[in-house]
Amino acid sequence: MQKRKLGKSNLEVSAIGLGCMGMSFGYGPPADQKEMISLIRKAVELGVTFFDTAEVYGPFTNEELVGEALAPFGGKVAIATKFGFKLDPQTHKQAGLDSRPEHIKEVAEASLKRLKVDAIDLFYQHRVDSDVPIEDVAGAVKDLIQQGKVKHFGLSEAGAQTIRRAHKVQPVTALQSEYSLWWREPEAEIIPTLEALGIGFVPFSPLGKGFLTGAIKEDTKFDKTDFRNSVPRFTEENRKANQAMVDLIGKFAQQKKVTPAQVALAWLLAQKPWIVPIPGTTKLHRLEENIGAVAVDLTPEEVKELETAASEIAVQGARYPEALQKLVGR
């Protein structure tokens, strides 16, 4: 497995990480815990050293799963987790945002216990909280870094100005945001900002929440607890229209004798040497397929050809329902 450094930091991780959210949350009922522990451990065997979770995935259960699975590999892997949501003490349901410094510190203590680690490798603000100045957020994480409880500071779905302001207080190691062949908005402002500041980029949903693999058709039915049911881009009508993107990637995959998922991931890896995608999965064959993308070499000509063809396809539907859309790019 190739390694990559996130920006100018000394955080070196496998070129492809593993997003663990879907094992407990978001994409239908939680998967079997024993099977997921064995899948995470298999990922380590296959060279993955970068794992992504958050307190709100579950809530709490995903961090516990990741903590247990990775306990035997202390010091050999990097675990990223996130703070910034307010959870109802009774129901544990999300109840808005909370990035007050004292809350960040409480979350860090609880995450350390669930992850069974002495320090959090990468601690992201999950969404920008407009009630708390980003300087205060960065300052709180800086304190945690000085105390040895956190190693690196990250932001998720933040806008360029916020990234710059945070970075002045505590260097930002990585930004995690959605980026893929069917969501290229970061190319306008975010990627140039990250490049200028020496910050790594960790794209989530690099396979378009599963769509770019070609496994989802217009008549695919999702489980009632699957959040894609509420995503405009995933209405039946929009899936039908967006199939053009999948067909394009599929055509490239056939030429290269690889899978559509591998083309989509190889395209991201070819963008910048400091981009580390974190596709999620609950299936071993998908994990192996995703890791295989590291060996897919796209020439600059192929990258250009793919981009040009993709930019001619108008993707239909917003990537988030309106309430979630308000929380991004702030």
Stretch 168-188: mean pLDDT: 97
CB atoms within 10 A of CB 304: 11
Residue 60: what pLDDT?
97
Residue 282, pLDDT > 90, answer yes
pLDDT digits (tens, 9 = 90+) for 136-165: 999 999 999 999 999 999 999 999 999 999
Is the bond preceding residue 89 a cis peptide, omega within 30 degrees?
no
CA-to-CA dists, residue 55 to 38, 48, 65, 219, angstroms: 21, 21, 11, 33
Mean pLDDT of the region 272-290: 98
Percentage of the residues of the chain whose pLDDT score is greater than 90: 97
- Residue located via tokens 């975010």: 190
Looking at residues 212-239, what average pLDDT do you find? 96
Domain boundaries, the chain: 3-208+271-297
On the question of pLDDT at 195 being above 90, the answer is yes
3-state secondary structure the chain: CCEEECCCCCCEEECCCEECHHHCCCECCCCCHHHHHHHHHHHHHCCCCEEECCCCCCCCHHHHHHHHHHHHHCCCCEEEEEECEEECCCCCCEEEECCCHHHHHHHHHHHHHHHCCCCEEEEEECCCCCCCCHHHHHHHHHHHHHCCCEEEEEEECCCHHHHHHHHHHCCEEEEEEECECCECHHHCCHHHHHHHHCCEEEEECCCCCCHHHCCCCCCCCCCCCEHHHHCHHHCHHHHHHHHHHHHHHHHHHHHHCCCHHHHHHHHHHHHCCCECCCCECCCHHHHHHHHHHHHCCCCHHHHHHHHHHHHCCCCCCCCCCHHHHCCCCC
Give tens-digit pLDDT for 34-90. 999 999 999 999 999 999 999 999 999 999 999 999 999 989 999 999 999 999 988
How confident is the model at residue 215, as a pLDDT?
96
Nearest to 153 by CA among 328, 7, 25: 7
The set of catalytic residues is 57
- Mean predicted confidence (pLDDT) in 236-260: 97
CATH second-level architecture of 3-208+271-297? Alpha-Beta Barrel (3.20)
Residue that the structure tokens 């909370």 belong to: 98
The single-letter code of the amino acid at 69 is A
Q: Are 44 and 77 in contact (CB under 8 A)?
A: yes
Where does the pLDDT of residue 284 fall: very low under 50, low under 70, confident under 90, or very high at 90 and above? very high
| Model pLDDT, residue 23 | 98
Q: Residue 14 has what pLDDT?
A: 98
Residue 302: CB atoms within 10 A of its CB come to 18
Give the pLDDT of residue 90.
87
pLDDT(278) > 90: yes
Residue 102: how many CB atoms within 10 A of its CB? 9
Cβ pair 202, 291 in contact under 8 A: no
Mean pLDDT in residue range 271-281: 98
Indicate the residue type of 213. T
Mean pLDDT of the chain: 97
Per-residue pLDDT reduced to its tens digit, 80-125: 999 999 999 888 988 999 999 999 999 999 999 999 999 999 999 9
